[in-house]
Structure 1
Amino acid sequence: MFTGIVEELGAVVASEDLGTDARLTIRGPLVTSTAAHGDSIAVNGVCLTVTTLDAEAGTFGADVMPETLRLTQLGALRPGDPVNLERAALVGGRLDGHIVQGHVDGVGRLLSRTPGERWDDLVVEAPADVLRYVVHKGSITVSGVSLTVTYVDDETFGVSLIPTTLAATTLGALAPGDAINLEVDVVAKYVERLLGARA
């Protein structure tokens, strides 16, 4: 479980294509400082399991399964690419973002960004099966970052990025056309399932 509050801007060290799956090596000195084999670290919003660890180099390795490659943009990552990193939330700590599972629902695309005085407004195109769960003023995770939805229509939604988010995450450098991982609030999916079963 995560909060969508990015702890560190890391970088891809290596990306190994294994045919149906892949293996990533990620540099993140902060998140690896307390990591152990088997721990969960969110990479651009995707929950990955630490399979190798080099604390001295500040790197960790993770296997990426076919389902993850199909539903996320992790397969497009190359050495040098920046990534948003977050360790799993500690029970008893503050929940500064919202409940994030690290189970990406789909890939969206940045349509446009409009700079403000100290912020940027982003318009994101998202698949219909993701948008059905997006609500105005609700929470959504964009490449691992917990954000508040500023508007939603039949094909897009909007978010605004504060200076900290622009400076400390990959969202600050996104360009129109870039792919982004999207995870909706899991509560919406549970409500739909329960109401569907009742009907």
Structure 2
Amino acid sequence: MSGHTPHRKGTFVDSLEETLIAIILGLMTLVTFANVVARYVFNSNILWGLEVTSILFAWLVLFGVSYCVKVTAHLGVDAVVNLLSPPVRKFCTLIAVAVCVIYAFLLLKGGWDFWANFANLPATTGRWFPTGFQEKFLAKGWYETNDVFMPDIFQFIADWFNDGERYEKIPRLIPYVMLPVGMALLLFRFLQAGWAIYTGKQELLIVSHEAEDAVEEAAAKLSREE
């Protein structure tokens, strides 16, 4: 029994998510290719290329985590739940969803707390769950990346976060913003999946039996060719 969910009708969030993933992959490819050409053809180097690629890869991973929840592409073990009756299986799956929602919420808190000070914003108080916002904190809006230069067109950000002093490199608040954004999107996807499971539109959170189906399909194709 497959836990795979048919592709749901696209929404704005779905389209935005998929578009950004495609753009990030394209940019990573272009920057890496340009850096290879610069190094082996012109004996030069794009100084900011490695850092930009690392940032884009981190963004891709964070987007990919939530995207895989949406398309039930995360791997998991379903040997036990498939032995259960449908009502019990659904109950166990909803418990798993609840655990994932709590986990995603904790990641969201951690992501916000890490990023907030770089945006001159307060982190939350409380060890596990937020109990409020810090009254005193060290504003870090002046922190910059190591190599990625700051385009002049974006220097208006300096008026907001750096008391009008121009940035030489892009501030860290820009690449780090993906932490709370990615975790918020992950939380949204788990809530969305939980509702789909509760209403019977989806069966499991994980990919189920797709690997077995792929092996069987490959074996059948090989036998036909022979």
* Structure 2 length-normalised TM: 0.21
Structure whose residues are more often strand by fraction = 1
Structure whose residues are more often helix by fraction = 2
Higher-RCO chain (CA-CA 8 Å, sequence separation at least 6): 2
